[in-house]
Copies of this chain bind each other. A is one copy, B any other.
């Protein structure tokens, strides 16, 4: 029911790749794309978000590329994913700063589902905050691969 889009999936893979080369050398998108098996031009879009959020730094021109702007152990998955998937709660029910306006139902005094989504959100956020980039690097042996067949969303089964 809940799914991570390829933005999140690919973006995390890019971050893991960059973590492997942290403090070693710059990584170009074509290199990342080949080693991780992901479409370059799509990655350009994703990494722009990561750069805007100051999670990665870039160097332009020949022999340019990207690198993490912080050590992997200081990068939490909550940050990475909220940047990639574009977090924002249009329904103020779930806005983080509770001061925001209420949703349509809430204004009328009874938002029966609010506590449900709130607890779900808490669970998601706290687990993602508890996982840092270096944990993922450690568990994954690095063997460059080719791209699998056409991608789709990754659905999380309940």
Q: What residues on B are CB-neighbors of A140 within 8 Å?
A: 110-112
Could you tell me which residues of chain A, from 72 to 95, have a CB within 8 Å of some CB in chain B? 77-78, 81-82, 84-91, 93-95
A115 shortest CB reach to chain B, Å: 5
Please measure, in the bound complex, the distance between the C-alpha atom of A88 and the C-alpha atom of B155, giving whole angstroms.
Answer: 7
- The residue from B89, B104, B157 contacting A148, defined by CB atoms under 8 A apart: B104
A145 touches B115 (CB 8 A): no
Size of interface on A: residues with Cβ below 8 Å to B = 70
Binding site for B on A (CB under 8 A): 1-4, 8-9, 12-13, 16, 37, 77-78, 81-82, 84-91, 93-96, 103-105, 107-113, 115-117, 119-128, 131, 135-137, 139-143, 145-149, 152-158
Contact check, B89 vs A115: say whether CB atoms are below 8 A apart.
Answer: no
Contact between chains at B113 and A123 (CB < 8 Å): no
A107 to B147, CA, bound (A): 12
Structural contact, B105 and A158, CB atoms closer than 8 A: no
A94 to B155, CA, bound (A): 8
Considering the complex of A and B, which 7 residue pairs feature the smallest CB-CB distances, nearest first?
A104-B148, A1-B85, A112-B140, A82-B158, A89-B157, A123-B127, A87-B158
Report chain B residues within 8 Å CB of A142: 110
